[in-house]
């Protein structure tokens, strides 16, 4: 499925995919939503001081890694404003 054909989600819908309210553990980065549920680093929707269900675009500058970390996760949707 190409990016253009992915479903769109609002920030409110993304917030429900936090590993607490539902089993899904999703994060957004630069308008794309990633499923990070298979990562051992995102157990229970928390990764260090970051929580799933959020747009992490602004927070990446504080991370010890680059945006290439998202390459290992599947894009499952587009974040709408």
Is 78:6 a contact under the CB 8 Å cutoff? Answer: yes
CA distance 53 to 20: 9
Instruction: Provide the whole-model pTM.
Output: 0.88
pLDDT at 1 over 70: no
Burial of 15 (0-12, 13-18, 19+ CB in 10 A): middle
Tell me the helices (H) and strands (E) count for the chain, helix number first.
1, 6
Question: What would the pLDDT profile of 56-69 be if each residue is shown by its tens digit?
Answer: 998 877 777 788 88
Walk me through the domains of the chain, giving residue ranges and CATH numbers. 3-79 (3.10.120.10)
Question: What would the pLDDT profile of 4-21 be if each residue is shown by its tens digit?
Answer: 789 999 999 999 999 987
Phi, psi (deg, nearest 5) at residue 3:
-55, -40
């Amino acid at each position: 499925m190409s990016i253009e054909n992915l479903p769109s989600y609002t920030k409110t819908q993304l917030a429900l995919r936090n590993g607490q309210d539902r089993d899904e553990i999703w994060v957004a980065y630069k308008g794309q939503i990633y499923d990070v549920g298979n990562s051992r680093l995102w157990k229970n929707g928390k990764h260090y001081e970051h929580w799933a269900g959020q747009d992490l675009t602004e927070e990446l500058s504080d991370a010890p890694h680059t945006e290439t970390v998202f390459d290992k996760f599947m894009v499952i949707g587009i974040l709408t404003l």
